[in-house]
Amino acid sequence: MTRICKDGFNREFIQEKPKMYGIAYTQNILSGRWKYLILWFLKTKKRRYSEIKAFLGNISQGSLTKQLRGLEADGIIKRKVYPNIPPRVEYSLTSKGEALIPIIDLMGEFGIEFGEKG
Amino acid sequence: MTRICKDGFNREFIQEKPKMYGIAYTQNILSGRWKYLILWFLKTKKRRYSEIKAFLGNISQGSLTKQLRGLEADGIIKRKVYPNIPPRVEYSLTSKGEALIPIIDLMGEFGIEFGEKG
DNA sequence: CGGTATCCCTAAAGATACTG
DNA sequence: CAGTATCTTTAGGGATACCG
């Protein structure tokens, strides 16, 4: 008889739960195709909405806005609006967001070593 | 006039392409809800199909099989079948798969530090 | 310039039933 | 035990049109 926690993780592995939750949490806030690349683009400096869009190339406006709002809601990036006409909006990493950069760097290195040549 | 590569990345950032491809590649082979947790569970030793299923708790058989086949196709895990009745199948990391463990460990640490308590 | 709002499409995941 | 097969549901993302 299996005994499953309400969260879905088996009780047998209860000692592993914090790490599992950590992994699931991180995976969740980075879910989707674009967030890793957006954060990596913000790694060196703050960027405008239009710069991010140009960097990603073929993302739609709707998707980009959704990604940015999601990252902001999770405390990963900051959004600063300059009330000009035309408007100017800059995005930058929070300290929480900066803590994700080593993960993304490792992912880049792994892909360079093991991925098909692009 | 923006000039976009066929791959969607803007030419302005052509020097960054290897890293971006690396990130996108890694993200792609780890896409989905379960792969990080499966790899982390295989970190210490090989595991049977039923062990993985028990560990994950509420994954469906269909989804688990799809995840495992995907990881195998990408060279991340090995699948070994013992032709017994009843059958016994063991999964283990390849060296490529082991190279992903530091990434997953970092994700776990990030989640423990910054995630909501679970 | 930096968005919203709406609709559509696809891939990922889940439920259920069946099998060598 | 370790799957397959089928169907349904859901989330992510894209296209398009419009707005302050």
Residue showing tokens 């463990």: B101
Q: Does residue A15 register a pLDDT over 80?
A: no
* Number of domains chain B is built from: 1
pTM for this structure? 0.90
Is B9's Cβ below 8 Å from some Cβ in A? yes
Q: Does residue A7 register a pLDDT over 80?
A: no
| Residue A2 covered by a domain | no
Domain with A40 in it? 11-114
The CATH code of the domain that includes B17 is 1.10.10.10
The Cα B15–Cα B38 span in angstroms is 34
Q: Which helix (H) or strand (E) holds B22?
A: helix B17-29
Round and report the angstrom distance from CA (A65) to C1' (D15). 15
| Residue A6 covered by a domain | no
| Residue B4 covered by a domain | no
Q: Does residue B16 register a pLDDT over 90?
A: no
The Cα A29–Cα B45 span in angstroms is 28
| Residue B1 covered by a domain | no
Mean pLDDT of chain B: 89
Specify the pLDDT at position A11.
62
Query: Which site among B27, B44, B60 would you substitute to test the A interface, given the most A Cβ atoms closer than 10 Å to its Cβ?
Result: B27
Is B8's Cβ below 8 Å from some Cβ in A? yes
List all residues of chain B from 83 to 112 with a beta carbon under 8 Å from chain A.
Answer: 96, 99-100, 102-104, 106-112
Round and report the angstrom distance from CA (A19) to C1' (D4). 33
Query: A57 and B8 in contact by Cβ < 8 A?
Result: yes
Q: Does residue A93 register a pLDDT over 60?
A: yes
pLDDT: which is higher, B8 or A46: A46
